[in-house]
Amino acid sequence: MKQVFSKVLLASSLVMGLTATVAHAADVTPPDIQRGETLYMQGDVSRGILACVACHGVGGNSAISMYPHVAGLPEGYIVSQLKNFQVPAGQTKSARMSIDGAPTMMAPVVAQMTDADMRDLAAYISQQKLTSPAFAKQANDLEFVHRGREIWRAGIPERNVPACASCHGADGKGMPEQFPALSGQHPEYILAQLQAFSEGARTNGGAENMMGTIANRMSNADMKAVADYAAGIR
């Protein structure tokens, strides 16, 4: 009798667990791509959310080198980066700050964003195509190109800097949700982010801020070379 009771109890527990899982899944509302497009194109002035298009361009194709292309980035990656601009409860700064220690221009934009806002935006952006990729600016400087390619493919062994390709891919397409695509990204933006990691202004560089450690071991000349090379990879 005890064995029968145990089996019934186990079965009941499994059913309850399954029901709870299904109920939890049902609570997650699918992202609203149309609403995401509206936020991207118009923002929500009543909440201080500016239109993303002003900086990141139509369809996520930025025409200004200090602002990154965002077209086609994976939903999960976009959401995580938006959250990184917000100041967590109980803390005084976000994981993404300016090199001078001040909040970035993104800080006031994301301050009032809800999780739903971020998911909707991410769903819209992830479906856009990068139609105006950036290119390497120093392609004619063979020594410069060689150094960038060397770091991308093999790293800097004597300084324990791993190959960029090991995470961002040989073709610069990245690893969805984890490491962003850098192919076609503005080289100026890539350089600025490497410098931000190096200076400790960005602390969201993977497990134990791996990118902060890596960038801190690189010279500014190395950062410039690999940033320019990454932008031109296809």
Domains in the chain (CATH in brackets) are: 33-126 (1.10.760.10), 142-232 (1.10.760.10)
Could you read off the pLDDT of 125-174 as tens digits, one per residue? Answer: 999 999 999 999 999 999 999 999 999 999 999 999 999 999 999 999 99
Asked whether residue 106 is marked as a ligand-binding residue, the answer is yes
Asked whether residue 186 is marked as a ligand-binding residue, the answer is no
Asked whether residue 97 is marked as a ligand-binding residue, the answer is no
Asked whether residue 164 is marked as a ligand-binding residue, the answer is yes
Does position 19 have pLDDT exceeding 90, yes or no? no
Asked whether residue 69 is marked as a ligand-binding residue, the answer is no
**How many of the other CB atoms lie within 10 Å of CB of 144?**
18
Asked whether residue 105 is marked as a ligand-binding residue, the answer is no
**How many of the other CB atoms lie within 10 Å of CB of 198?**
21
Q: What is the pLDDT of residue 28?
A: 75
Does position 10 have pLDDT exceeding 50, yes or no? no
Does position 12 have pLDDT exceeding 50, yes or no? no
Asked whether residue 113 is marked as a ligand-binding residue, the answer is no
Could you read off the pLDDT of 49-102 as tens digits, one per residue? Answer: 999 999 999 999 999 999 999 999 999 999 999 999 999 999 999 999 999 999
Asked whether residue 52 is marked as a ligand-binding residue, the answer is yes
The pTM for the full model equals 0.87
